[in-house]
Structures are given as C-alpha cells and as structure tokens.
Structure 1
C-alpha cells in the first residue's frame, strides 16, 4: 500500500468556493453550506442527495466538483464545509486518516461499509480469474488495462503497488476518466471482447453488466474500505443540526445500488437524487430526526 503523503500546498481553490462558509445562526439553523465531491459516481451521488435534503431544511447549498487531491485540500483549508467521499483505511490513506486533526473525520462520519477496489473483467472471460493470469494474457488484452484519471487514489495504487507486484509492467495503464473507461468497457462487453478495467464497488456497472473482480491473491489492494464524508474543522460547531443529520446517515448496499442505478438511468444528478429521496423518504426522515 502506498505510504502517507503530504497534502498538496499552495493550490488555489476555484472561485466557486473561495468565499468562506457563512455559518448558521446560533441555533445551527439556516446559512450557506458548501459541499465538495469527486467526479466519481459514489461521491457525486452522496453530495446531491445531501444538497437536496439540506435545501429542504432551509439551507443555501453550494456544490462543486474536484479531483480527489484538491477535495482533501479544500476541506483542510476550510474552503469546503463538507466533502464526499474518503475511502479508509486503505484507498485514501495517502491523504487522510480517521481522527485527523486537520479536519472533522471520525467513525461517526461513516456512510457505507464494504467498498472495494480491483481489476475487473466481464464474466464471459472464463479463463481469466486472477491478476496473476494477466502477464500471460497480454496479447488477449492488446497490452492495455483501462484506467481512470491519473490523480485518483486507485491509479496511484495501480502504479505504485499492483503493477510492480504482479509484474504487469508490459501493460499500458491508460489515463482516462470514469466515463471513458465505462465506454470502453461497454463497447467490449457488447461485442463479447476481452477487456480489463480498473473499477470499484459500489458502482452502477455491477448492476448493468455481468462482471467479476480478478482475485488478488496477495491482497495488495487491501481489505475492503469504508466510505466516509469529511467536514472542515469547526463545521459541527457552526452547523450542529446539519452535522447531526449527516452523522445519522448510512446507506445499505441495496440503497446505494438503487441510487447509483438511478443516476445512470436518468442522466441527471438532481433528478436522480430527488427520485431516490422520494422512494426512500422514511429512511431520509430518520436521518433528520435528531
């Protein structure tokens, strides 16, 4: 696993979040809350659900997207009030740890358990079942592993740990995006062609396609992670009600799978979040019951 790294310094956060958070009134109600999220499906889905719930409760909500490194930096700097997500203890250990003194991030910030990274192929590839099978199958995959953006924690783990450990240096790990990687997977899948991609769970792909993770016999990807949200230092003091609601929230596997599938099906973040909240109103009301 990659070691700890210092957070990026001296990076200017975009104009969308350069204004400091307004803060709530003395009861913790109202005010402006700035949410940040990654471009990845889980972080985006969490953020838009909470954008709508907070707006329903009378908050003004700003929302903006960052690459992962800048998301952590913005939270540490206080430019973001709340950020989604942190995968811990493994995937995002280069950036942050639970109980960090640089932000509010504890076990109470848990949103989901059982998140997983790995290399994935379609289930129809019956002879490819382990990462150890890949060195001898390089011609079958045209020497390519479909990756995502190079700044992601998953790609860092691939480059620093998986490729050297499993002797995959002859492969090209392509720098792309989640959307482009999924398009490459879809094209190969529709034609029943070989393809290997970097992927993670929770992700809508596992509802839309018959896929399998390649075995990681030496557990280089690590054990499954949990997913957390992050708050800037002082968020709980400035917004005690919103903080308590967020801490009440938790997604079971089927609930998050439903949300991610709606997001893909509808193609609109606001619409997907609204539909999911409507279908799960008893659950979201329980989060706000504090």
Structure 2
C-alpha cells in the first residue's frame, strides 16, 4: 500500500483549494489527519476533496492514531475522520472530557477489530473459534521467534488494542508480534493462506480481507466497559482486559473550535457518511488492484456527486 505518496501530499502535508460554491468563513487551512491504513486515507481524502470543492483550504498532516489527540486538543490539528470504537474509545473519551475535542458524529461504518484465523485452522486446532481452544493449541502457532509460545500477528503498534494486556490477563501462551505496516500485515496473511500455514492475526472490517479469505474471528468473553475499567470484573479478578474488543461506530472527531471558525466545513464533516460495503470496495481497489488512493477517492466522488453535494449545500 502506498501511504502518503498515494494521495500526493508529500512527506507531511499539502495545502489545496478550489473555487468556492459560496464565501468561506476563513481561508486558513483545515488540517485533516492521515494515518497508516488505506481506508482512513480514503475517508480523509474524500472529505478533503469535498471541502476543497466548497472553497476551503485543506492541509493533510501525517499523525499517530492515538497521539494525534494532543494536537486536536490544542487546535494544531483540526479533524480526524476515523476513530474506531474498537481501539480509540478511551483516548476519545479522555479528549472529550477536556472540552477541547468534540464528536462530529459517526461515519456510517461499523467497526470490528479482533483476532482472526483462516478456516483451515479448525482442522489443526479443534474447538475454534473459542479462545480457550486457541490457547490449548498455542504451540501450533509458534514460530522460531516466539517458541514455545504461539505467535499472534498484531497490527502496527500505534493502533493500540490492548493485545498484550489481554494475553496476560487471560493467561494465554501467546506472544504479540506487531506488523510494521498495514500492508505488511495483509501480505503475511496472503502468504500464509496460500500455503495453508498456521496464522492468527489482527483483522478488521470494513476491509476487503474478510470477504476474500474464509475464516472467523476468535470468540473471546463478551466485552463490557467494566472489562477495561475494573480489574475485578471478568475471568481474571486481578487484571483488566480479560475480554474481547468492543465493536461499534467509526467516529469523526475534531478540535472544538472548528464549528466556530469554519461552520460550513463543520456541517459538511457532520454530514459525511459512507457504509462498510462502499469502503471495502474502495480499499480493495487500492490494496488489491494497486490503484492510487487519490484516483479511487475521485472515482467515488464522480459517481456520487448527488450525495456529497448535499453535504456542502447551503
């Protein structure tokens, strides 16, 4: 996957604008954050192009998924188009509590991020998808790097997710090995799947992978907020994170000053919506077909002008 070059923003940022439909409130750039997975790049590029069509200046800034909240609180960054309920809820709630970061509402996409295994692993590890069965055959997932523990291939370390904490709290004989990039994560899945090799890894939706590969998410104890907040809750009375990950919305959030400085842009960001199917199709074009993020985003805009035009209507 081409990350920054794919959307032509240079090393860190690009400022752009276009003829306005109406007079904009400020020509200062609206800073949209970019992360390290294709879906987020697409979401942000689509939003940025729509804002440019409305006459706003847009600046794309590469930022760490969790650490970006520091910039959103101070107003050095303005909008983050994808905060996943599955991994970003704690950071989001802490930022909301300051009053300096607000929600622009759901994106329309529903998030799942969880451990996943190919269907052929059921022959090797009977009892799957139950997490206890997974633990019973941890040695089947061991590599030279992790033996005698099984290897869980996690996402890039910046994604969060509390996988190390979960392994410890549930007493699992696994070790987390983080993929360096989103692209590396799915390249390793493709390689393992073609060889029918053992693998359990982080998979998420919306994405093309759950449709392309036959497999299942691991069934951990059901998530409850208390699981993350109260060590006494759950299977392990002494540790938190002894449960599955939450599921739910993917949120748009931003600096609280956006609505005052750029009210028209704030309204457009709130109106933005996509569904899992549309996003999965676009991510597939980027990751599987090698198409440029900017081109895929523009293709969607060209085909759905009636949709996004409503986002910036007076």
TM-score range, shorter chain: 0.7 to 0.9
Question: Residue 274 of structure 1 is aligned with which of 284, 292, 298?
Answer: 298
Question: Structure 1 residues 135, 260: closer, same or farther in 2, change over 3 A?
Answer: same
* Aligned positions of 1:125-164 closer than 5 A: 125-126=121-122, 127=126, 128-142=128-142, 143-154=150-161, 157-160=162-165, 162-164=166-168
> C-alpha offsets along residues 113-138 of structure 1, whole Å, 9 cap, x if unaligned?
42112100112323331222221212
How many residues are aligned here?
Answer: 265
Question: Residue 259 of structure 2 is aligned with which of 229, 236, 241?
Answer: 236
**Structure 2: runs of 5+ lacking an equivalent:** 1-10, 143-149, 224-242
* Aligned positions of 1:90-101 closer than 5 A: 91-97=87-93, 99-101=96-98
Residue 99 of structure 1, CA deviation? 4.5
* Aligned positions of 1:27-38 closer than 5 A: 27-28=24-25, 30-38=27-35
Question: Residue 284 of structure 2 is aligned with which of 237, 261, 275?
Answer: 261
Residue 6 of structure 2: aligned partner: none
Deviates more, 1:137-146 or 1:234-243: 137-146
Residue 53 of structure 1: aligned partner: 50
Question: Residue 115 of structure 2 is aligned with which of 103, 113, 119?
Answer: 119
Question: Residue 186 of structure 1 is aligned with which of 190, 207, 221?
Answer: 190
**Structure 1: runs of 5+ lacking an equivalent:** 1-14
Whether 1:78 and 2:75 are equivalent positions in the alignment is: yes
Q: Is the 8 A contact 1:33 1:81 kept in 2?
A: yes
Residue 249 of structure 2: aligned partner: 226
Q: Is the 8 A contact 2:24 2:56 kept in 1?
A: no
Residue 208 of structure 1: aligned partner: 212
Aligned-residue Cα RMSD (Å) equals 2.6
Question: Structure 1 residues 123, 37: closer, same or farther in 2, change over 3 A?
Answer: same
TM-score, scaled to structure 2: 0.76
Larger Rg: 2
> C-alpha offsets along residues 168-214 of structure 1, whole Å, 9 cap, x if unaligned?
2x322102232221111110011122210012222221233223211
Q: Is the 8 A contact 1:37 1:85 kept in 2?
A: no
Whether 1:173 and 2:176 are equivalent positions in the alignment is: yes
Q: Is the 8 A contact 2:108 2:250 kept in 1?
A: yes
Question: Structure 1 residues 267, 72: closer, same or farther in 2, change over 3 A?
Answer: farther
Question: Structure 1 residues 263, 282: closer, same or farther in 2, change over 3 A?
Answer: farther
CA distance in 1, matches of 2:24, 2:296: 31
Q: Is the 8 A contact 2:30 2:59 kept in 1?
A: yes
Q: What secondary structure, in the 3-state scheme, does the structure 1 residue paired with 2:67 have?
A: helix
Q: What secondary structure, in the 3-state scheme, does the structure 2 residue paired with 1:241 have?
A: helix
> C-alpha offsets along residues 25-55 of structure 1, whole Å, 9 cap, x if unaligned?
9852644211112212332221111122122
Residue 16 of structure 1, CA deviation? 4.7
Q: Is the 8 A contact 2:87 2:159 kept in 1?
A: no
Would you identify which runs of 4 or more consecutive aligned residues in structure 1 move more than 4 Å? 24-27
Whether 1:251 and 2:274 are equivalent positions in the alignment is: yes
Q: Is the 8 A contact 1:37 1:65 kept in 2?
A: yes
Q: What secondary structure, in the 3-state scheme, does the structure 2 residue paired with 1:95 have?
A: helix
Q: What secondary structure, in the 3-state scheme, does the structure 2 residue paired with 1:59 have?
A: coil
